[in-house]
Structures are given as C-alpha cells and as structure tokens.
Amino acid sequence: MPSSGSMRAQIGTLIIATSVIQLANGFFGTFISLRVASEDFGATLAGLVLSSYFAGFALGAVRCGQIIKRVGHIRAYATFAGLVVAATAAMPLRVRPLPWLVLRAIVGFGCAGVFVTTESWLNAKAQPSQRGRVFSLYMVGTFLALAVGQLLIIWIEVKGAAPFNVIVDLFAVALVMVSTTRAEPPLTVAAEKLPYGQLARAAPVAVIGCAMSGLVSSAFYALAPAWMQDNGIKRETIALFMLVAVVGGLAFQVPVGRLSDRYDRRIVLAALGIGFAGAAIALVHLPRSWSVLVPAAALLGGFMSTLYPVCVADAHDRMPANRVVAVSGRLILVSGLASVLGPLIGTSIMARSGINGLFYFMAAAALLLALVAAGRSLATAAPRHLRRPFEILAPQAAPLAHNQLDSSDVALSPDSIDSS
C-alpha cells in the first residue's frame, strides 16, 4: 500500500506535468492559427487543418480508454505523449495542408490520451474527501498554464521550426516526469452505457449548451489570432488578448459557479449566453483600442469558459448519481464534435464577411443557447442541486478509471468519460 507522501508526490507530479503540457498547448493553439494564416492555405483548407485537432481529440476521448486498460497508465501516457512529439516534430518537415491536417489530428488524439490518462489516474489515486481540492488545483494549473503559454508568442518567431521545437521540448519534459514516477496502476471498472437519446430527453439544455460551447470556443481560439495578425496587430497585442481571454475564463469560474449552485442553472446559462453575445457584438461596433480589447477579451473568455461546466452540472442534476461517468463522457464528446465544426464554419464566414461575420456567428450561437435555456426554464421546474455541484471544468478528456463511488462520493468526483 503506497504511503500518503508517495501518493501526494504522484498527484503533484501529474499536475505539474500536465501544466507543462498545457503551457505547450496554449502556445500551440495560438501559434498554429497564426502559422496557418501566414502559409495562405485558403479558407477551406485552413479551416480543415484547424478543425482536425478537435476531430482527433474527439476520437481519442472515445478510444484511448482501451489502450490505457491494455498497457497501463504510465506506458499509455508515454505512448500518447510520444505521438504528439512525433507529429509535432514532423510538421515543419512537410508544410502542406494535407500533411498538417493528418498531423494535427494525431496531435489531438495524443492530447486526448494524455488527459484521459492523467485525469483517470488522479481520480483513482485521490481520496474521495480530497478529490474536489485535487481537481481544483489541476484545473487552476491548466488555466494558468494555458494563459502563460500565450506569452511564448511574443518571444518565439512564428516562422521556421523553432516553435515546433519548443512544443516538442515541453512535451518531452512532461513525458520524462511521468515516466520516471513510481506508481501502481489504478484499478478500472466498466463504465455504464448511456444512449444519447436518454440524455437529450433528460437534459436538453445541457446537450445543446455543450454543443454551442464547443462551437464558439473552437472558432474563437482558432480564428481570432489569425484575424488579428492579418490586420497588422502586433504579436505582443495578440498574446495579451488571448492571455486575458484565458485568465477571464478562470476568474469567472467561482462567481458563476456560486450563482449556478444557488439559482436555476438554465437561467444562469441564458445570462452567460446573452453576456457573451453582447461582448462579441461590442467588439464589432466599438473602437478596437486597448481600453476596449482587454475588457472585451476578459468578458468573452469568462462567459465562454463557464458555459461548459454549468451545462455539466445541469445534466448531473437531472440524471441518477450512478450515471455520472456516462453523462460526463457523452457531454465531452458532444462538445468535441461541435468543436470540429467551429473553425470550418468560422473560416467560411470570415472568407465572405471578415472578422465581423465571425463575431456575429458566435453571438448568434450564444443567443440561441440563451433562448433555449430561458424557454426551458419557463416550461419546466428546476431540479434540486443534489447530484453534483458546479466544478471548475474544461471540455477535455476526463477519467476512465473510477473507484466504486456511492452517491455521497459523486459530488466530489471529477469529470469522467464513457469509454465504450
């Protein structure tokens, strides 16, 4: 039986290693948007390259569980991180749309595997009474690393192989940290299946909200940096804008979470949708100066990053406590599939009407969610918040391995994915 000190060391190593990976991801997401725009692939091919990451991620979120069960957590982590390293290193060797489409999909698959492995490992190793704190630290580390990753845009030239080398180095550091960890493999249990129809009937607002969240966030993070670069905005400004958006997402988590636990979550979702739409439209009509860009970025990131966790909490309010794994997994996949469409639709709109069209598109999606959420709140009563409170979450792959949880543990357990 491992000691408590050994357990804390394992958990700390995993959190630090994942923060290093998210540092690389934060830089990679913004960098690839700028690089694809500078390579002039054309609107359709650029959208496909940017969307391929999310397609690979969605596939990985569904399929990586079997790999983990077959080879164990440490070997699986090494496999998935190795895929990312190999695909990233190959990108500067073949700067063409089709190779990049395939390689970005491999990167997405590998990243999903890394997060599945990490979060299932954390879930299995953390004591039930500590899971809330462990995953709060994990998600705070994720947000901060994603934010700091934007600063690398300032210091590293977008052209050439240097950015890819930095990303490879960061993933390699995380790989070494986790591969040298002494750890017993967590036990796994079979995940319960959940038909999409059952979830959609029980929690339609949550399903629609996760789809809108994926659609809007992927369009924003994939396309906003490229538009700013095309309009001659300095890389320092682009980095700051994206950093403020990520930090805004973190800053909104606790206050929105408290509101969500106190009031009907659908009303909170409607307010978030209206707030996001208002911030997006303001960016179209107000002067694009520092005094406008920075607050708008914080608001956009804040409203956008809280849509998904409120939707997850709403879904768990409406489903039995023993379906927490399947519910979370289905919502992750819904968000992931919608994320594939965001850059594709966004690039098509931008080719016709520029960045204003993209902001109108995102605003329309957010307003649609607001209308659906408000309408359902008027039509049906809100459930009691008994199943699962709001948690700081991101729509990324989540745990495969679970301890046997009773209903009292579920409120503290982290987000989970159905591997079937």
Tokens, residue 399? 């745990």
Closest CA to 118 of 134, 98, 97, 96: 134
Taking only the tens place, the pLDDT of each residue in 230-277 is: 778 888 889 999 999 999 999 998 899 889 888 889 999 999 999 999
Q: Alpha-carbon distance 362 to 345, whole Å?
A: 10
Letter for the amino acid at 387? R
- Write down the pLDDT at residue 200: 85
pLDDT for 379 equals 83
Residues of the chain short of pLDDT 70, as ranges, are 1-6, 126, 128-129, 131-132, 182-193, 196, 321-322, 324-325, 384-420
Structural domains in the chain plus CATH codes: 1-187 (1.20.1250.20), 194-396 (1.20.1250.20)
What pLDDT, on a 0 to 100 scale, did the predictor assign at position 391?
A: 65
State whether the Cα torsion 229-336-300-143 is positive or negative.
negative
Question: Measured between alpha carbons, how far apart are the two ends of the chain, in Å?
Answer: 30
For residues 203 and 318, the answer to whether their CB atoms sit within 8 Å is: yes
What pLDDT score does 20 carry? 96
Distance (Å, whole) CA 103 – CA 126:
34
What pLDDT is attached to residue 119? 80
pLDDT of residue 388: 57
CA separation (Å) from 355 to 283, 294, 342? 10, 17, 14
What number of residues does the chain have? Answer: 420
**CA 125 distance to own-chain centroid:** 23
| Residue 332: per-residue pLDDT | 82
- Tell me what pLDDT residue 407 has: 36
The gap from C-alpha 101 to its chain's centroid, in whole angstroms, comes to 20
Residue 11: predicted pLDDT: 82
Q: How far apart are CA 222 and CA 199, in angstroms?
A: 29
Q: Where are the alpha helices (DSSP H) in 126-195?
A: 131-155, 162-179
- pLDDT for 417 equals 33
**Alpha carbon distances (Å) from 82 to 163, 174, 175, 177:** 17, 11, 8, 13
Q: How far apart are CA 88 and CA 29, in angstroms?
A: 12
